[in-house]
Chains A and B, each alone.
Chain A
Amino acid sequence: MTAAIEFLGVSRVYGEVHAVDRVSLTVQAGEFFAMLGPSGSGKTTCLRLIAGFETPDTGSVLLNGRDVTDDPPYLRDVNTVFQDYALFPHMSVLENVAYGPRVRGQRKEDWRRRAQEMLELVQLGHFAQRRPAQLSGGQRQRVSLARALINQPRVLLLDEPLGALDLKLREEMQIELKNLQRRLGITFVFVTHDQGEALSMADRVAVFNHGRIEQLDTPRGLYTRPATAFVARFVGSANVVTGELAQRLSGRTDPFAVRAENIRLRVPSAARDADTMSCLGDVADVQYHGAMSRWQVRLESGEVFAAALADVSSNGDFKVGARVRLEWSRADAVPLTAAEPP
């Protein structure tokens, strides 16, 4: 299997800011690859470096084994679904989709037929003659997808494509995109700041922070074995324990993370199970979420722990202000790399 995309020590600097800082990564052909991170973490710049809208200051970008570092976007075999969809307002939906074949000089009957086929693929066959302004957000999203896929790129880049959609539509599109990717076998590179989206759709996820990749792993790997405090907090908001508290709980100062759903609440007098860590605190807040409830517990030393409990009754019915014992098994404490990048 060849690598669809390779970054070799790529940096992009704007003035003083290292938007992308010596990033190296490999995306396999046919992979659904997510770039996850907060805004300004460098994930979108990485996407733009692949598309060719940006040129790296150092390092090189390879597509299908070929160095394309200095190639302009129109010479690269990748297509992009833009965050704002970037549909041409002065063209009909059909003309938008047919744009790629048209600029490549395809004959009119060919591009008309192909564009119509692509619109059928995204279930917008009836909207061919409309203007983009007459479509809903979800429909524009599909047009943008059809317009990118008509060129049969080897890599499809998606820049937060679901960000502007409402929750229900976003969940539908997540499933649809995943199915489409499986069916077409194209490499998808998906940029998002939504960790749920990245976990549910991607084969592998690169977590970006300050222009660097903090961790590159499968969704399960990221969730169960976060490498750094940043990843532990950003992906599934785990409790990160450091310094004195870590020393007191585990006997060592090395930081570790505990998922909220691995924490149990007990009455302070309850007997401790073997092979667990535990500490005392006061319930600061409870939020009911239906299937589970989220608890905020303030420890005596001031830290606030989050606990997610599936079944409230089995953990006792604690009120806000009640004293509780937090408890989790030692196996659920995931050690983190101490060194956080500056």
Chain B
Amino acid sequence: MRALSTFLYRRPNLYILLLLIPPLLWFGTVYLGSLFTLLAQSMYAIDEFTAKVVYEPTLATYKQVVTQPANVDIIVRTLSMAVAVTIACGLIALPIANYMVRYASPRARAFFYVGVMLPMWMSYLVKVYAWRLILAKQGILSWLLDVVGLGAALDAVLRIPGIGGPSLSASYLGMFIVFVYMWLPFMILPLAAALEKVPESLLQASADLGARPVQTFRRVTLPLALPGLAAGSVFTFSLTLGDYIIPSVVGAPGYFIGMMVYQQQGTAGNIPLAAAFSVVPIVLIMIYLAIARRAGAFDAL
């Protein structure tokens, strides 16, 4: 035993290799393997008459995804929702994270962290169905708005084409609210982590050099929070792109990418189309990361 320890201690590379083999095997087969299987499936197409998969490499399925108006609609709808949810999460999370890190007392900070994470410990389905009830036509939210005399304002908002609908629970606005609620912790936590790394003395130096609070925020806090904002937005963006439960429980009847994947690989039995649709979020996130990188979001890392 001791001889083996000494042998490995003198050969750190071999030691590290031995440690890494199990996770590498797992990662390689289960993770990358299934990803490549998925990519391979998307390169096939289904025979229109027999509904059987034809195992010959073709780009026909991709062509179907990006040219058929119904499919393009689904992509645009999902992408718009993901962008809107990401922006809203960023705008809401920034002041909360900044308050948590910078101003809250240690007790209040602990309370905030628990408050942010508590919803993540509850069942996802329970939360979605709870929101459906909250947003329903006779739900507590519309009742509350009626009580404070804003019922007419809600009706006016719901009449806006595109985001409105018969009730909040059957509109894109309602779906948007649920998405923002669901993914907000994933934005707040990385943002708080990034802000926590900014030393107090930098903010003092900024004020000392003559910057008003707004200038300090724009020139020091925000640029240094950008890596956290980027990390958080990757979560909110990709989680929205891939989700299929929220769009099927809350919101207007239009399809989202995740629902399409679920339906095509299940009831419709069109595995190639499901696979091709699965590739869409991957591509979109890669494009998003490239844009974020170019914008300098990772420079301060």
By a CB distance below 8 angstroms, the chain A residues around B209 are: 74, 79, 99-100, 103, 147-148, 151
Does B215 have its Cβ within 8 Å of any Cβ on chain A? yes
Listed by A's residue number, 12 A-B pairs whose Cβ atoms lie within 8 Å are: A73-B208, A74-B211, A74-B212, A82-B205, A83-B201, A87-B205, A88-B205, A88-B220, A90-B300, A99-B209, A99-B211, A151-B210
**Are A88 and B211 neighbours in the complex by a CB distance under 8 Å?**
no
A121 CB to closest chain B CB, in angstroms?
A: 17
Does A116 have its Cβ within 8 Å of any Cβ on chain B? no
By a CB distance below 8 angstroms, the chain A residues around B223 are: 90
Given A74-B211, A89-B300, A103-B209, 19 new contacts (CB under 8 A): A53-B204, A53-B208, A73-B207, A74-B208, A74-B209, A79-B209, A80-B205, A80-B208, A82-B201, A83-B201, A89-B224, A90-B223, A90-B224, A99-B209, A99-B211, A103-B211, A103-B212, A103-B215, A104-B210
By a CB distance below 8 angstroms, the chain A residues around B215 are: 103
Measured CB to CB, the residues of B under 8 A from A are: 199, 201-202, 204-212, 215, 219-220, 223-224, 299-300
**Are A86 and B201 neighbours in the complex by a CB distance under 8 Å?**
yes
**Are B207 and A86 neighbours in the complex by a CB distance under 8 Å?**
no
Q: How many A-B residue pairs have CB under 8 A?
A: 67
**Are A90 and B299 neighbours in the complex by a CB distance under 8 Å?**
yes
By a CB distance below 8 angstroms, the chain B residues around A72 are: 207
Bound Cα distance A74, B207 (Å): 5
**Are B224 and A74 neighbours in the complex by a CB distance under 8 Å?**
no
**Are B201 and A84 neighbours in the complex by a CB distance under 8 Å?**
yes
**Are A79 and B211 neighbours in the complex by a CB distance under 8 Å?**
no
Interface size on A, residues (CB 8 A): 25
By a CB distance below 8 angstroms, the chain B residues around A73 are: 204, 207-208
A277 CB to closest chain B CB, in angstroms?
A: 50
B179 CB to closest chain A CB, in angstroms?
A: 31
Bound Cα distance A84, B203 (Å): 13
Does A51 have its Cβ within 8 Å of any Cβ on chain B? yes
Bound Cα distance A103, B205 (Å): 12
**Are A82 and B204 neighbours in the complex by a CB distance under 8 Å?**
yes
By a CB distance below 8 angstroms, the chain B residues around A52 are: 207-208
By a CB distance below 8 angstroms, the chain A residues around B300 are: 89-90
Residue of A51, A78, A90, A99 touching B206 (CB-CB under 8 A): A99
By a CB distance below 8 angstroms, the chain B residues around A83 are: 201
Interface string of A46-84 (1 = CB under 8 A from B): 000001110000000000000000001110001110111
Bound Cα distance A153, B219 (Å): 22
Bound Cα distance A224, B299 (Å): 55
Bound Cα distance A102, B206 (Å): 11
Bound Cα distance A52, B300 (Å): 29
B297 CB to closest chain A CB, in angstroms?
A: 11
By a CB distance below 8 angstroms, the chain B residues around A82 are: 201, 204-205
Bound Cα distance A52, B199 (Å): 18
**Are A86 and B211 neighbours in the complex by a CB distance under 8 Å?**
no
Bound Cα distance A104, B212 (Å): 10
By a CB distance below 8 angstroms, the chain A residues around B204 are: 51, 53, 73, 80, 82, 86
Residue of B205, B219, B224 touching A86 (CB-CB under 8 A): B205
**Are A74 and B199 neighbours in the complex by a CB distance under 8 Å?**
no
Residue of A74, A80, A88, A104 touching B202 (CB-CB under 8 A): A88
By a CB distance below 8 angstroms, the chain A residues around B206 are: 88, 99, 103
Bound Cα distance A147, B201 (Å): 14
A137 CB to closest chain B CB, in angstroms?
A: 16
By a CB distance below 8 angstroms, the chain A residues around B199 are: 84, 86
Q: Which residue of A lies closest to B198 (CB)?
A: A89
Interface centre among A53, A80, A86, A100 (most CB of B within 10 A): A86
